[in-house]
Structure 1
């Protein structure tokens, strides 16, 4: 390669030549090494599209300052629940990008409005959580569309977020965001961005794809239920974000009782009997008052156990946990201390109306008595956090009064679900299906449109029915015969009137699996194969109903090491390896229906835990499913009061005193209704039998006593840990707060009943094979619209 001569002038390549530009209008040179400005300014591709960026002075915005505006935008307008973490993320974002003008210029309101719309377009659910990636992605997209604290590309942003519905991760479509299951997302806000807010298409869209009420049925496993803890300081519920474990530290056991006590204590203080008046009425006013309530009404006060020290001979009312002390005597504990309890002269309230056993939280009214000779550490240490010297002599013992569901959720009205302005925990999502305040009214309207009301008062036909059968011992041949009678009765009805769901509850074997050698894993699977064969004979039910299976204490796998004893609850569902044949029967029935009728059938079998929850139309209907023989356990561990009259006692087979029923039912209960088939009625004698009438009255009394004990305690296992083990990290799933709409308590040692207490309808189907009656099948039929169940019987 030849080099250029020294005389020749080297020319630069055309690409390196400076472009010819007109002389700048500013005589000052535009290039300055000190300020780093370019000699030739770079021209943007579209100067009109980029506005002048105004200067923003970032500020630190406290979440509490932003909370009223966020509540008005997210909750009032868009029916979304904002968590504290999401509020913190939004406050940081608005303070950084909107600056000091976030309130005066309305910048924060526009940002919150756009975030709420983007969240609903993503179908993120009712709860806006700041710990996930969804909110961060929305704010990241929003940040690129803001200039000077203002959103300049809101239409493009909404369209961009709406495309997330079809996004995929690693080649798989996100079914959660696609919304294959019904969600609580309203359509009016998502349609407004498309100019469809004035079109009345909401009802048509919902009716087209979600006409079947079973689409709004959700089974909530106890291990998947949100773990909520009551915060005493905030007087609200917090979500426990720690990872649960089957073998947690010992401190978690203490937290179980602490949460139970705090929940009952706040519920008790909300009761009218424990609320003091804010003003004092003069004695003259009381004398002139024509109402006797003004003189008899009084408010009760609770005294912590630690405050009993130095108050010998004074009367107090304490709330605490009944326990057995190391010395074998009865004691009562609260969060401040423990004291010996003397119930020699105590009287239960109501008398023989509830059980009181160690492990229950009770109210005791009595007198504190100090020891004559204070013995050192126990009496003179102050007592905070320890045992108090002396004893507490109780005169009256009662359970904490129950609280109705509408009071807990802050609702008013009978069934319309009107929302009050304040009070209650209506914004708390207890089951992860949406809070009552957010979606309750919408779900009730949807329920009225989808569930056909009964034409006759005695007729509860149609889709709005739940069939409950208990104690299906598949190793007993007569059980399958009774089940065939039950299924055949409903298979004969028109397909459009098929019940919504069938709940089949264990124990599915009479003895514990692999505990006594009579039933191993192979035999256990063969029993379920026989159940699958029985279900296959009724394809119409498999195609149009949901079957839910709840295990008992004798089912696998926990019963393999319990040998028939009480297993820890919550208890996981039956392993899938035993239930594969049943799922195959449902798949075959759905395939045949699609081939014959040309439409897709979606009958399914769901295996859930014990206990579990059944949610229908979001928070509108909540049904607790529990399989436990509580009656015998309560009879073994309950306290016997000496105030009961010995001449009224009559020992039954279990050696437990049977109380004489009251002549009139308590006002808070509704008598259970019995519906017997005509064939059974004709086979029985029609001569009035006083013994039969007394037996029915006694069964009703036992049912009321059991229901009142459980619902007043607000806990599904009100026993000592040694009597009924509980998984500590999942104990929140045992809380009965707020009261459910209905509760299925399958107890084979109690009579079958349907009882309503404080608005909660409790049902016990008993065993599907009626004990002591030859060839009689028994189950419970629950009407969702009327919230009333009936005990059904039929001959087989």
Structure 2
């Protein structure tokens, strides 16, 4: 019987031990000659590792002889601490508010305190770790166009902290290829083989300098470079951009934050009914905040407390005005108030005024316009009304307060004494641009206003405004200053009014106009031609019969033949086409009536031959590429044309708004002559500026008590321009009279005020009027009614 014993329990003799040692030595000696399996082979052995053992008799195992290496330093460990927000508040205030003009909310301060306490530890103050984190967070927030107020619940702040967390080690922000670059914050390497190896996480383009990145927000869509001296930037047309109404960024005013917020929801042409209320609320809030920024509605800390609600007090200081919400009129019978609201028509047919708190009936039998006959007033406009609240007789006789009815209507009525438009605000004041008017080179941006907001998607005023104005001065203004007698150059924008291409006389007039500009020397042709509809006298798409879409396309084919005769203009200029109410497709079901605004451009089905004419002209001239040669742009109505980013903004709008205002206007009581209007009443309404601010106004004659009368055309132009710009809205009517797409109502706002506005209105006489720094032009129709062989147009440069 053979017994098997475990090796651990078997006793070993001295002979056995010596034999095992010999076997080990033999195995060690053969290690150099036998290959080792790859799995067990030593890795990264130095050359000295192949030396055999010097003591084979003692069976010394072979091990690689490695040189001495110092131990790797241990990674700096950070012990998290609980950092109270109140302790971090002074440092955060110096960084965010003092340096970057940002405001921290309590939730944002809590988020930053938690983040710094967890990743910086106890060295947040002594080693200056917290200050560097706050610097990077504030800079990244501005690059992402987060706004003036930093909210802790915003996804932008959470994304910034998450990105910053992955680039921190030992409480410090890593700089270099694997961390945050000191030249470009929050940059990531996308690919070594790519042409551009870094992509910014924020919204500011990488081409902006470091100085601009610390004091600007918004992204420029104009491909602006730090060195605008190349051949591409020498042509002003390079910096021209047409913005469609449906592509314009949508902003809403947040009353709580006193700031504009960008809409992130997807717009729709068939939205919910609540969007109609939101459109009115946003329009009211924009005018209300603009009104509170006016000097007449700001309370002075040094003004006396005595005196009435209007005019000057006993100390001679002008009193500020106060707007009363309509709901606060309850129980205040016989008191004097000033209301701001929209003129509406009640179901009973009476005129009323409505704001965000309620509605009350109006009595305008004794109301006077301030100034006299200076603007239009129609239902759908937001106006200022000064008067007295009167309760119902049966309620007032019992000594009870009024009550609210259906739809928030306040009982009683409001007896109006004065009515006026809310005062307009200059573009420079809205965007916070200082410096004297007309001196572009000395312009600079200050912290006030909404210069942080990129209203059109071409760059905010704080981001690229100063550099764009400098470039504009170099390309457009400086050549004119050096040679005042030189002919007009590339900075011209030619504006043609209503172009009815279904009339042969109109095409002949167009040939004459284009021939004049085609004869200009090379390099001096206008950079833009603006052609507006209606392109047909009648709504051809709705007539049926032998006409319709076939006839409509033939008209544009005839226009293409006319444009083909001027290849010089087709290769050097941009032609912008703005449709009217008679153009397709909307005229197919509207029959030329008022269609919802904004409206889409003419479909490419009808304009294909015009595009082909431009392509052929560029090909024959040897111009290729998307940015080379001229082009034809079919835009929306209304639309925006920007030149040098936020420096120049032109609104293009085609509508017979004068006739619509005359049909829907409210008749008011005629007042005494305009010369007897007191300065107090003018300051209350903030209406028409002095005559020297209107370019077409005659100088005031102090020797006469009554202001000299002006021609009817000039007076009508002033009245129309003041109404639109004071309203800050292109369709100040009821929805039944001028429909508006609720989700796209922001494209109709005139805030900030544009630098120029092309208002093609054939129901009004042609004019050019400047009001509050905005130059408004109405070229009318190309064909002059009743005069043969006469055509007209206008240009601005």
Which band: TM-score by shorter chain?
Answer: 0.7 to 0.9
Whether 2:512 is the aligned partner of 1:485: answer yes
Question: Matches of residues 609-648 of structure 1 in structure 2 within 5 Å?
Answer: 609-643=636-670
Structure 2 residues without counterparts, runs of 5 or longer: 1-5, 8-18, 28-35, 44-62, 215-223, 674-688, 699-707
- C-alpha displacement of 1:572: 1.2
CA contact (8 A) 1:469 1:765 kept: yes
- 2:631 is aligned to 604
The one of 536, 555, 570 equivalent to 2:583 is 555
Cα distance, 1:581–1:141 mapped onto 2, change above 3 Å: same
CA contact (8 A) 1:75 1:438 kept: no
- C-alpha displacement of 1:385: 6.4
**C-alpha offsets along residues 40-84 of structure 1, whole Å, 9 cap, x if unaligned?**
9xx9999888762322527689899997577589968xxx99999
The one of 522, 546, 556 equivalent to 1:528 is 556
- C-alpha displacement of 1:450: 1.9
Taking the aligned partners of 1:401 and 1:539, their CA distance within structure 2 comes to 47
CA contact (8 A) 2:489 2:525 kept: yes
Taking the aligned partners of 1:752 and 1:166, their CA distance within structure 2 comes to 60
The one of 463, 467, 479 equivalent to 1:442 is 467
Question: Matches of residues 399-410 of structure 1 in structure 2 within 5 Å?
Answer: 399-410=421-432
Question: Matches of residues 699-718 of structure 1 in structure 2 within 5 Å?
Answer: 699-718=713-732
- 1:752 is aligned to 766
The one of 761, 772, 775 equivalent to 2:789 is 775
Tell me the TM-score normalised to structure 1 length.
Answer: 0.76
Taking the aligned partners of 1:66 and 1:515, their CA distance within structure 2 comes to 68
**C-alpha offsets along residues 401-434 of structure 1, whole Å, 9 cap, x if unaligned?**
1111111122221234645654311212211222
Taking the aligned partners of 1:175 and 1:442, their CA distance within structure 2 comes to 26
Whether 2:523 is the aligned partner of 1:502: answer no
Whether 2:181 is the aligned partner of 1:154: answer no
Which stretch of the first structure deviates more once superposed, 209-218 or 605-614?
Answer: 209-218
- 1:473 is aligned to 500
Taking the aligned partners of 1:126 and 1:765, their CA distance within structure 2 comes to 38
- 2:15 is aligned to none
- 2:480 is aligned to 454
Whether 2:544 is the aligned partner of 1:517: answer yes
Taking the aligned partners of 1:370 and 1:598, their CA distance within structure 2 comes to 71
Structure showing greater radius of gyration is 2
| SS of structure 2 residue aligned to 1:496 | coil
CA contact (8 A) 2:377 2:666 kept: yes
- C-alpha displacement of 1:175: 14
Taking the aligned partners of 1:407 and 1:75, their CA distance within structure 2 comes to 20
Whether 2:433 is the aligned partner of 1:411: answer yes
Taking the aligned partners of 2:206 and 2:107, their CA distance within structure 1 comes to 21
Taking the aligned partners of 1:612 and 1:167, their CA distance within structure 2 comes to 41
- 2:320 is aligned to 299
Whether 2:247 is the aligned partner of 1:224: answer yes
Taking the aligned partners of 1:717 and 1:610, their CA distance within structure 2 comes to 12
Cα distance, 1:466–1:268 mapped onto 2, change above 3 Å: same
Whether 2:386 is the aligned partner of 1:361: answer no
Cα distance, 1:428–1:191 mapped onto 2, change above 3 Å: closer
The one of 567, 572, 585 equivalent to 2:600 is 572
CA contact (8 A) 1:184 1:434 kept: no
- 2:276 is aligned to 253
- C-alpha displacement of 1:449: 1.5
- C-alpha displacement of 1:341: 0.6
CA contact (8 A) 1:56 1:149 kept: no
- 1:680 is aligned to none
**C-alpha offsets along residues 740-762 of structure 1, whole Å, 9 cap, x if unaligned?**
11111110111111100011111
Question: Matches of residues 365-444 of structure 1 in structure 2 within 5 Å?
Answer: 365-374=386-395, 380-381=402-403, 386-414=408-436, 415-416=439-440, 418-419=443-444, 421-444=446-469
- C-alpha displacement of 1:189: 7.0
Taking the aligned partners of 1:444 and 1:699, their CA distance within structure 2 comes to 35
Taking the aligned partners of 2:157 and 2:605, their CA distance within structure 1 comes to 39
Question: Matches of residues 30-429 of structure 1 in structure 2 within 5 Å?
Answer: 52-57=75-80, 71=96, 97-99=119-121, 101-102=123-124, 104-107=126-129, 110=132, 145-157=167-179, 158=181, 161=187, 164=190, 185-187=207-209, 204=227, 206-281=229-304, 295=316, 297-374=318-395, 380-381=402-403, 386-414=408-436, 415-416=439-440, 418-419=443-444, 421-429=446-454
| SS of structure 2 residue aligned to 1:624 | strand
Which stretch of the first structure deviates more once superposed, 201-210 or 395-404?
Answer: 201-210
CA contact (8 A) 1:335 1:385 kept: no
CA contact (8 A) 1:69 1:109 kept: no
- C-alpha displacement of 1:320: 1.1
Which stretch of the first structure deviates more once superposed, 706-715 or 216-225?
Answer: 216-225
**C-alpha offsets along residues 99-155 of structure 1, whole Å, 9 cap, x if unaligned?**
5645653435545777899999xxx88779999999999988765553212234424
Cα distance, 1:202–1:545 mapped onto 2, change above 3 Å: closer
Question: Matches of residues 688-703 of structure 1 in structure 2 within 5 Å?
Answer: 697-703=711-717
Taking the aligned partners of 2:189 and 2:211, their CA distance within structure 1 comes to 16
**C-alpha offsets along residues 681-706 of structure 1, whole Å, 9 cap, x if unaligned?**
xxxxxxxxxxxxx9981111111000
Taking the aligned partners of 1:166 and 1:750, their CA distance within structure 2 comes to 62
Cα distance, 1:133–1:303 mapped onto 2, change above 3 Å: closer
Cα distance, 1:67–1:749 mapped onto 2, change above 3 Å: farther
CA contact (8 A) 1:750 1:766 kept: yes
**C-alpha offsets along residues 708-756 of structure 1, whole Å, 9 cap, x if unaligned?**
0000111110001110000001111111111111111110111111100
CA contact (8 A) 1:475 1:527 kept: yes
| Aligned residues: CA RMSD | 4.8
| SS of structure 1 residue aligned to 2:243 | strand
CA contact (8 A) 2:651 2:756 kept: yes
CA contact (8 A) 1:246 1:729 kept: yes
Tell me the TM-score normalised to structure 2 length.
Answer: 0.76
CA contact (8 A) 1:379 1:388 kept: no
- C-alpha displacement of 1:309: 1.9
Taking the aligned partners of 2:305 and 2:138, their CA distance within structure 1 comes to 54
Cα distance, 1:81–1:610 mapped onto 2, change above 3 Å: farther
Taking the aligned partners of 1:216 and 1:51, their CA distance within structure 2 comes to 55
- C-alpha displacement of 1:535: 1.6
Taking the aligned partners of 1:82 and 1:44, their CA distance within structure 2 comes to 56
CA contact (8 A) 2:340 2:382 kept: yes
Whether 2:555 is the aligned partner of 1:541: answer no
The number of equivalent residue pairs is 695
CA contact (8 A) 2:306 2:314 kept: no
